[in-house]
Chain A
């Protein structure tokens, strides 16, 4: 009888654990699954609107001078201003952030993920629950930066190439696209 009971408890434990793990895998892990939120952590919430948040995700850190002071709790879209509405949860011990602070979206390293960086302002009134950070800077989109760089480069290159063209095409090929192919064959 005791043996039967213990094996029944063991089976039940195994099945419950397994089903709980399956539930976790199918709901909590994938991006399109429903997420459970476990209560409300202490602290306060502030919002900020950005023109472009790039690749910022819910759960990303909020940092001030490199120290983590909170996390991104929700990302929305303002249909009036067409800007991204980022809700941040700030930990309770960081309660003295000036109201005119400046929020920007920054990247960890070259390939890293993005986070919200906050630079302090000078006012002696502090951010509180529900207040909004007004001064923001969008994410730097690397592709547009590269595009700008190449636009500038080809502009300055076109001047040099133009003078080369009058001299003779085969003598001087400093063209942005065609140049790397030359040494290969």
Chain B
């Protein structure tokens, strides 16, 4: 790992991508034995999902309230406030829900995954496991990966629903858009396809973000500085990749 400095930056980037690809395959193979230890996975679902619940709910509420406020302000200029439900629902379900949740997930759960595994690497716990013939891939990495993949769609769904009620709170309760129209217009305009798009996005983000966090932690330099750098890289790479993949997936679904 430390001999990477000898190559040029491009070769180093390609090597990192290769490391990540190989790691992904190893991770998928390690998922088999990891599924035999459901308690470890449950603990990681709690770590990645349960502990992110409050921040996701608060962010969803305020995102929805902003959508309600802004949507009402713009739409009432055209006398079309009744379309508020459509705008809020489509924006939340298709784009804002998956993307904002993924960004928050990278900051809240991705960093903790990465630094936890990185610290295990630095304190040689992973090596100790190997010595004890316990595969750290299936005991440490895979449960965290699976936990993240399961937690992500659930977090997105919670974000969406809280966001919708936030938009409703702002638009209907405070700004006087008709409640029945808000919901009926929303329900008639949103199709199953839009919801599917949101769920597919959340699954993709779950896989990608968990992979990046676990991979960076697993391959971090075994020093305090190395763990810090790996954590930073997790957030940066996750955020950029989230927005890029969101663009690609939106183009695919359109």
Contact = CB atoms under 8 A, between A and B. Distances in A.
Interface in A22-38: 22, 24-26, 28-33, 35
A57 B46 contact: no
Shortest 3 CB-CB distances between A and B: which pairs?
A18-B154, A109-B79, A59-B184
Interface stretch (A8-16, A124-132, A133-141, A169-177): A8-16
B153 A29 contact: no
Nearest to A58: B184
Chain A's interface: helix, strand, loop or mixed, by majority?
Answer: mixed
Interface string A53-64: 000011111000
Give the contact-size bracket for chain A: 35 or more
A22 B89 contact: no
A108 interface: yes
Contacts of B183: 59
B157 A108 contact: no
A17 B46 CA distance: 13
Given A15-B49, A17-B53, A29-B89, 11 more contacts: A7-B46, A11-B43, A11-B45, A13-B50, A15-B45, A17-B154, A18-B154, A25-B93, A28-B187, A32-B191, A113-B185
B169 interface: no
Contacts, number: 120
Contacts of B178: 61, 68
Majority secondary structure of chain B interface residues (helix, strand, loop or mixed): helix
A31 to B, nearest CB: 5
B172 to A, nearest CB: 12
Contact of A31 (B43, B151, B190): B190
Contact of B157 (A8, A22, A58, A72): A22
Contact of B184 (A13, A60, A68, A112): A60
15 contacts: A14-B46, A14-B50, A18-B151, A18-B154, A25-B93, A25-B161, A30-B190, A31-B187, A31-B188, A35-B187, A57-B184, A57-B185, A61-B178, A61-B180, A108-B82
Interface string B171-212: 000000010110111111111101100110000000000000
B199 to A, nearest CB: 8
Contacts of A57: 181, 184-185, 188
